[in-house]
Structure 1
């Protein structure tokens, strides 16, 4: 497992490529899957082509003139196209006007030195689906991020602070738990959709798929996270334990998957 090289998380796929060329076993996702998932625009293009619902979006590279936005329609989320762990995402990422859009794009270009993805804001439940496997896939129980104290008229966004700032989470009643009230048929549909996503993006090892579920039960892909956070109190490990895979066995299984020669 490689999270970063020289304090840069953007090089993980390069290290994995080297290990693949040398035939050295490693845990987690292969290089192609890491590359496809890292770029949120590419992953959405692939999945949209294959009939999976994705938000309307546009990518604005650094150095490109910020043109008047035609698609998607406001409100939208503006965020770095490649950064992980919600880095670069805040309440200011939610924009409703052309002026806010231009300001936020310029902010990310200048302060994060990153290209931007601007995508349609999808109102709905924030679901996290954990998957493990190379060829035969296991889907663990669905987790959900709840926004208990966020006013109904405010956007519900998994910002950087929403994920990593405990005081912020307490103030706004943010809580990760197992998703309640999902019809079994809908759960089966979500699981099959996530397996398709996993395979279409050539993920192996283990990953978490982030989704939005609307009030009409329409499912939208938000992003795929190969090699998600593995702390025992995080969503992936909690979902695995709920599925009957306690933490020591989870780590053992990840290592065994990494030792397998067949990864695709």
Structure 2
């Protein structure tokens, strides 16, 4: 009997029971990750049912009670369009007692809070930039422990939302203004961390007991002006016209000497273990000219579209996309035993 997989994902609107998702899955700018995973699950011989959530969890509870899937392939990144509520969906799945791919609610909670995550990494002697958190309603100032320039970000957002070239600040007035903007316009807490000059690398890991580190990818900033900070802004990641204009591209990291390559592996493995991750993750890193490796942040449910960083790194070492998806399903089933 084929393994029954419930593929769970989010949409910015509610749909009726029995909805076929044809329009969303056919849109190259729409649910492209979900479409890739769905095809890979079908190609692997699983019995697959799709379910989207928007602002109501009852459809998930009903499907689990009535059909009892063997495993849930969780691709939910938001609930009611709020990114930090992905952990609540994972927590509900845990309460329902169904094996689930990806990070659990604890890991999502921990890694979504950039401040808390960095504190744990620093405790375990994993190098991260020095930082300061700015919570709404508290005084905004530059602490003596923080050196400029800094990059100011939303404390709990993902995918570089809220990050632009203006996020890098050189004086206290600019820092305070940027924090205030995040507080007032985005209605979010903020974090300022010291800007680290260097290469932007992405290292992906798969595993629970045994870890598989995949070849690192790099974001190169092309023809950007020398006085512009090299940071992964929202536009640098997602705006294809902007990327093309400035020659920004993602590619496999080159010219890594063996010592640096080993340092990347050791740093990411220590970070993965320190955060008690047990599925798959991608670490955003900065590497200085002196070879120091800084963990900027972990992505504990990173994009796994066929053309994204993790899947491309897996393919580089001979793990075909369908095999990668099967690995994640088998991993979830194994963890539940």
TM-score if structure 2 supplies the norm length? 0.76
Cα distance in 1, alignment partners of residues 101 and 191 from structure 2 = 29
Deviations 1:132-158 (A, max 9, x none): 112111000000000111122221010
Contact 1:210–1:222 (Cα < 8 Å) also in 2? yes
Structure 1 residue 60, shift from structure 2 partner: 0.5
- Which residue of 2 is the match for residue 141 of structure 1? 215
* 1:230 equivalent in structure 2: 304
SS in 2 for 1:199: helix
Match of 2:233 among 156, 159, 162: 159
Partner of 2:251: 177
Task: Measure, in 2, the Cα distance between the counterparts of 1:96 and 1:189.
Answer: 30
Distance 1:76 1:262 in 2: 43
Query: Where in structure 1 do 4 or more consecutive aligned residues deviate above 2 Å?
Result: 67-71
* Correspondence 1:209 to 2:283: yes
1:27 to 101, 115, 138: 101
Q: How many residues align?
A: 263
The Cα offsets for residues 153-210 of structure 1, whole Å up to 9 and x where unpaired, read as 2210100011000011111111100000001222122112101111111112111001
Whether the 8 Å contact between 1:94 and 1:155 is mirrored in structure 2 is yes
Deviation per CA, 1:221-258: give whole Å up to 9, x if none. 10000111111111111101001111111111111112
Unaligned runs of 5+ in 1: none
Structure showing greater radius of gyration is 2
Higher relative contact order (CA 8 A, sep 6+): 1
Give me the whole-angstrom Cα distance separating, in 2, the residues matched to 1:106 and 1:253.
Answer: 44
Separation of aligned partners in 2, 1:4 and 1:106: 25
Match among 85, 91, 94 for residue 11 of structure 1: 85
SS of match in other structure, 1:132: strand
**Could you tell me the TM-score, scaled by structure 1's length?**
0.96
Structure 1 residue aligned with 2:112? 38
> 2:159 pairs with 78, 85, 105, which one?
85
Provide the C-alpha distance between the structure 2 equivalents of 1:6 and 1:66, rounded to a whole number of angstroms: 30
| 8 Å contact from structure 1 (residues 126, 145) kept in 2 | yes
Instruction: Label 1:74 to 1:136 Cα distance change in 2 as closer, same or farther (>3 A).
Output: same
Q: Distance in 2 between matches of 1:46 and 1:171?
A: 39
Query: d(CA) in 1 for partners of 2:142 and 2:226?
Result: 30
Q: Is 1:253 aligned to 2:327, yes or no?
A: yes
Give the SS at the match of 2:152.
strand
**2:189 corresponds to which of 115, 126, 140:** 115
Distance in 2 of aligned mates of 1:118 and 1:68 = 9
Distance 1:250 1:181 in 2: 27
Q: SS of the counterpart of 1:176?
A: strand
Q: For 1:166 and 1:71, locate their aligned partners in 2 and report how far apart those are by CA, in whole Å.
A: 38
- The answer as to whether partners of 1:34 and 1:203 remain within 8 angstroms in 2 is no
1:75–1:97: 8 Å Cα contact kept in structure 2?
yes
Deviation at 1:22, TM superposition (A): 2.8
SS at match of 1:260: helix
Q: CA deviation at 1:262?
A: 5.2
